[in-house]
Amino acid sequence: MELKDVIQEYKDKTGVSDSEIARRTGVSRSTAARWSSGDIHRVSEDTAARLSKMLGYNISPVLKGMDIVVKLPVLGYVKAGYDLFAEENYLGEEEASLQDCRRGDYYLKVTGDSMVGDGIMDGSLVLVRQTDTIESGKIGVILVGEEVTVKRVIYKESMMILEAANPDVKNRYFTGREV
């Protein structure tokens, strides 16, 4: 990741312009535009500090070509199987890259073996992005009533299938009304 990537990500997330970035960091608009275009790769320590304040994290490692590592919470367990009630249970934190932070909000620890065929083993951590929808064919953490499970979600006609990746575990089928 480079400075231009950090700036572009911030612009995409906030909708601000180069002019606004310039105002917030105390540089000229042309300097902010050159950050965005990748014409400038390095900045002074003072400017890096102002950029870090604007972004909400220290960008010095990015400017040195290093990955930024942040911590994401592990908020409990998810069953690779069935019959586990959803309950938030803070288990600590795990390190994550900025790229992982873009893909998920928190981790859950897996118990059970229904997803071993997809490489999700008992004791694994799964990165979860909170959302109300999931595409057909994707693996997700699904709340069914008060139960929580990790499964591949398949939509067919007016039904949703929670598909296990272990032949010893049965799939579950839900009608449109149940969903």
For residue 149, give the nearest of 80, 77, 76, 88 by alpha carbon.
Answer: 80
Residue 143 burial by CB count (10 A; 0-12/13-18/19+): exposed, middle or buried? exposed
114 is catalytic: yes
Which residue in 4, 19, 151, 156 is the catalytic one?
A: 151
Which residue in 19, 36, 114, 170 is the catalytic one?
A: 114
Contact 7, 1 (CB under 8 A): no
126 residue type, one letter: V
Alpha helices in 40-139 (DSSP H): 45-55, 60-63, 98-103
Known catalytic residues are 114, 151
